[in-house]
Amino acid sequence: MWKIFTLISESYRFAWNVLINNRLRTSLSLLGIAIGIFAIISVYAIVDSLERNIRSSVDTIGTDVVFVQKWPWGGGDGADGYEWWKYFQRSEVSHEDFKKLLNRRLNSAQYMGYVAGTKGTVKYQNSNVENASIEGITFEVGLIFSKAEQLEVGRYFSEKETRLGKPVCIIGSDVSRGLFGDKDPIGRSIIAFGRQFSVIGVLDKQGSSLVGESDDSKIFIPVSLLISIRGDKLSGSSIQFKAKENVSLELLKDEVKQNMRAIRRLSPRAEDDFSINESSIISGGLDTMFSAIGIAGTIIGGFSILVGGFGIANIMFVSVRERTGQIGIQKALGAKNSFILLQFLVESTLLSILGGILGILFVSILISVASLYSEFELAMSLENIFTGIGLSALIGLVSGLAPATMAAKLDPVDAIRFNQ
């Protein structure tokens, strides 16, 4: 064991001296590997960061929540792809649908809420926010998505306020900043649709959402009030169901589907004129998308690393040729083939690992700079770092195998005569 350690230690020391004494050659080889590692690890790091952010946004939807809507998520259920013309002809999910379902008291649902929205300009004194998203919600929506826990200041709607359609609102952080600046919005009145709404709460800063619109730019009011103002001129409506504890989502979906078909009086052979959506639809699409991106990144980065590997192999062949006489002397003095082999393998692997570390450093600089201009969290994981170092070590080992084998098989007499 000690002999093996000594052999590796001597090979490492010898390889390090060679790399230091050939700085230009070492620098060019390092750069080749660094570019390859930079290409592949930067793709991995960005894709991983993007996936974390999107999945975090998807998690806010809830894994135990079902949405009944006009449009399906993902590709829909058509054999010929996304049959948008069919979905376009559907009517929006109405508040009447919601009330009929509410009267049926679904056994699988713990809570059932309704959301519908529109766009409008909101004002406070001389400040205004144009084209703001104004969403009407029922009290139960807050229970489904724990809205009360997401408030920075103020409170959530009471059940009475939503039922009676009181002129109160909860605003997102961007709306709050746009209308009130640094002032406390609670208790102040904003104007929308020519009416006054008292601000009772401000939501925490959510940041940009990669799944749907962020709550930061939204205004929430009781849906009954929004319907009384806008009538049926609403869009993006949905009925939302939260499953009871220990009730499967499939059971909830089946019960929702049966009751929706019943209240819409669909015949047994008629297609559904509504869509039932859940977060797993998005998650499934994300798995496919990120898998494809990862494969594409691996192919692109793989070519770059391959070029770097050929560069190291070429340099090692040159190194063997330059040191042929030295190898002959080492063998004449008793150096074994294994020592010569290990000497060149350690040199190529060390060179490649140093290039990999340089490439990872380039990636960290890229991530740091990109984070300054991105609203999303970008980071390089330990898995990315170990992947980069592991790949560079493998490339170095493979690239140095042929030159090292050639050096180990040299005849000592022929090697000594080579440079004479």
What per-residue confidence (pLDDT) applies to 13?
67
**Average pLDDT of the chain, as a whole number:** 81
Asked whether residue 200 carries a pLDDT value surpassing 90, the answer given is yes
Task: Write down the H helix ranges in 323-381.
Answer: 324-332, 337-373
Residues 182 and 131 in one domain: yes
User: Which of residues 241, 273, 305 is at a domain's end?
Assistant: 273
Mean pLDDT confidence for 283-295: 73
86 is a domain residue: no
228 is a domain residue: yes
Q: What is the DSSP letter of 392?
A: H
Residues 31 and 122 in one domain: no
Instruction: Please report, rounded to a whole number, the percentage of residues in the chain having pLDDT higher than 70.
Output: 83
Report the distance separating Cα 363 and Cα 37, nearest Å.
9
156 — pLDDT class (breaks 50, 70, 90): very high
Instruction: Find the helix or strand (DSSP H, E) in which 258 lies.
Output: helix 249-263
Q: Which of 226, 200, 223 is nearest to 102 (CA)?
A: 223
387 is a domain residue: yes
Instruction: Please report, rounded to a whole number, the percentage of residues in the chain having pLDDT higher than 90.
Output: 19
245 is a domain residue: yes
85 is a domain residue: no
Residues 269 and 128 in one domain: yes
Report the distance separating Cα 45 and Cα 380, nearest Å.
5
Residues 401 and 267 in one domain: no
What per-residue confidence (pLDDT) applies to 18?
65
Q: Which domain holds residue 320?
A: 2-57+284-418
Residues 120 and 43 in one domain: no
Residue-wise pLDDT for 350-365, tens only, equals 888 888 888 899 888 8
Residues 23 and 102 in one domain: no
Record the tokens describing residue 108, joined without a space: 């699988």
Instruction: State the sign of the Cα–Cα–Cα–Cα dihedral 287, 288, 291, 292.
Output: negative
User: Which of residues 235, 254, 273 is at a domain's end?
Assistant: 273
Residue-wise pLDDT for 212-253, tens only, equals 677 888 999 999 999 999 887 788 889 999 988 888 888 988
408 is a domain residue: yes
Residues 356 and 386 in one domain: yes
What per-residue confidence (pLDDT) applies to 147?
79
Residues 51 and 167 in one domain: no
Residues 401 and 325 in one domain: yes
What per-residue confidence (pLDDT) applies to 1?
56
Asked whether residue 77 carries a pLDDT value surpassing 60, the answer given is no
User: Which of residues 246, 273, 300 is at a domain's end?
Assistant: 273
Lowest mean pLDDT among 209-223, 257-271, 325-339, 397-411: 325-339
Domains: count for the chain: 2
Residues 135 and 267 in one domain: yes
Q: What is the DSSP letter of 215?
A: G
74 is a domain residue: no
Mean pLDDT confidence for 104-123: 89
Mean pLDDT confidence for 185-208: 89
Report the distance separating Cα 321 and Cα 367, nearest Å.
41
Q: Do residues 66 and 338 lie in contact, with contact meaning Cβ atoms separated by under 8 Å?
A: no
Q: Which residues of 71-103 are buried (b: 16+ CB within 10 A; e: fewer)?
A: bbbeebeeeeeeeeeebeeeebbbbebbeebbe
Residues 362 and 236 in one domain: no
What per-residue confidence (pLDDT) applies to 157?
93
